[in-house]
């Protein structure tokens, strides 16, 4: 059995921006502290929610470096270093390892796509290039490529491939991964509305968008379940289901960045081509945040 990177809720943290579009490190520091004082179990920097696709290489690595330094060992820092270019993913992964990342999050190749044998070759090449654990990330709705359970079972045998972030939305697929891989791979929910169902199939936590605004809640959903309070965990999951859904009322991370702004942090806008929410959708999101006591 491989060592678990973290149990609980890891935040897929946003990357705040200044008015000129540059990274706002002062606010990033504030958000990191907010997370660390409110139950977050890990911080995932430069994932999809962190707008990794529009960060330059220099910005990408600086956000990772800054986050690792600011967290200072208090929780694991997982660096998003995936790419549709295997050699570039290797470069980012090796640099993140040098910076002190606890683990890596690698999304499936997008746009050019690949076969299942291509996925095995891609992830294996990256895993061979580093000496820290890797979370492979299946989110076909964004990339067009699903990691089949049988592919997970092959990849799970690699010493450095420790977990999968499952955001397919397909619980039957998650069950099959659990059945095929056993304790060779940890499963993290990639969807906040499926935390409890995935925990029931042997999952160990969630990589969460919800955690950006309600870190203690996301933590508690997992912690209660793992402590045996399944009813309490499910109750929280259902009570916060409306916000889990409304954080995807528009393309992620537009709603969550809007929510963080509404909560009083100067997170700024998303970089283009992501555009601001329309007024009607923002009003729905604001009402949900208010209902949960997150804004006045």
Selecting among 137, 188, 225, 265, the annotated active-site residue is: 137
In angstroms, the Cα distances linking 193 to 140, 174, 200, 230 are 17, 14, 13, 15
Q: CA-to-CA distance for 137 and 140, rounded, in angstroms?
A: 9
Indicate the SS3 state at residue 234.
helix
For residue 242, count other CB atoms closer than 10 A to its CB: 15
Q: How far is CA 235 from the centre of its chain?
A: 23
Bridge-partner residues for 103, per DSSP?
78
Is 137 annotated in the active site? yes
Cis peptide before 32 (omega within 30 of 0): no
Q: CA-to-CA distance for 106 and 116, rounded, in angstroms?
A: 15
User: Which tokens in the block code for residue 171?
Assistant: 């619980």
Selecting among 165, 188, 224, 265, the annotated active-site residue is: 165
Handedness of CA 76, 92, 213, 236 (dihedral sign): negative
Comparing CA positions, the residue from 63, 50, 44 lying closest to residue 102 is 44
Catalytic residues: 137, 165
């Amino acid at each position: 059995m491989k060592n678990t990177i973290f149990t609980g809720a890891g935040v897929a943290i946003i990357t705040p921006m200044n008015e000129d579009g540059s990274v706002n490190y002062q606010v990033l520091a504030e958000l990191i502290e907010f997370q660390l004082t409110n139950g977050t179990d890990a911080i995932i920097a430069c994932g999809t929610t962190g707008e990794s696709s529009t960060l330059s290489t220099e910005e990408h690595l600086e956000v990772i470096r800054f986050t690792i330094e600011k967290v200072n060992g208090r929780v694991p820092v997982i660096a998003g270093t995936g790419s549709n270019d295997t050699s570039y993913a290797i470069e980012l992964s090796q640099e993140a390892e040098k910076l002190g990342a606890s683990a890596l999050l690698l999304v499936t190749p997008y746009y050019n796509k690949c076969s299942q044998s291509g996925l095995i070759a891609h992830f294996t090449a990256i895993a061979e290039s580093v000496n820290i654990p890797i979370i492979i990330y299946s989110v076909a709705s964004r990339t067009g490529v699903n990691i089949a359970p049988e592919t997970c079972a092959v990849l799970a045998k690699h010493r450095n491939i420790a977990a999968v972030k499952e955001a397919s939305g397909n619980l039957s697929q998650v069950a099959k991964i659990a059945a095929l891989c056993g304790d060779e791979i940890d499963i993290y929910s990639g969807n906040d509305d499926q935390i409890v169902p995935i925990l029931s199939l042997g999952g160990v936590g969630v990589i969460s968008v919800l955690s950006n605004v309600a870190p203690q809640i996301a933590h508690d959903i997992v912690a209660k379940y793992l402590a045996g309070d399944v009813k309490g965990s499910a109750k929280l999951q259902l009570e916060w289901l409306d916000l889990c859904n409304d954080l995807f009322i528009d393309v992620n991370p537009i709603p969550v960045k809007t929510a963080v702004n509404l909560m009083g942090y100067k997170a700024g806008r998303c970089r283009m081509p992501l555009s601001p929410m329309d007024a009607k959708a923002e009003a729905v999101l604001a009402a949900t945040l208010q209902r949960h006591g997150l804004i006045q």
